[in-house]
Amino acid sequence: MAEYEKRVFGLLNRFTNFVSAYKYEALVL
């Protein structure tokens, strides 16, 4: 169960980083 949660958390973190980068790009451009 811990491994599964770790995987989900990793995906969520990656998604958050992607959204943040996208917003940053949008603000810069």
Tell me the helices (H) and strands (E) count for the chain, helix number first: 1, 0
Instruction: Provide the residue range defining the domain that includes 9.
Output: 1-29
Local confidence band at 28 (pLDDT 50, 70, 90 cut-offs)? confident
In 1-29, which positions are buried (b, 16+ CB within 10 angstroms) versus exposed (e)? eeeeeeeeeeeeeeeeeeeeeeeeeeeee
pTM for the full model? 0.58
pLDDT given for residue 29 in this prediction: 73
Q: Does the pLDDT at position 8 exceed 90?
A: yes
DSSP 8-class letter at 29: -
Span 1-29, average pLDDT: 92
DSSP 8-class letter at 1: -
Cα–Cα distance between 18 and 15 in angstroms, integer? 5
28 or 8, greater pLDDT: 8
pLDDT given for residue 27 in this prediction: 84
Q: Does the pLDDT at position 19 exceed 90?
A: yes
Question: Total domain count for the chain?
Answer: 1
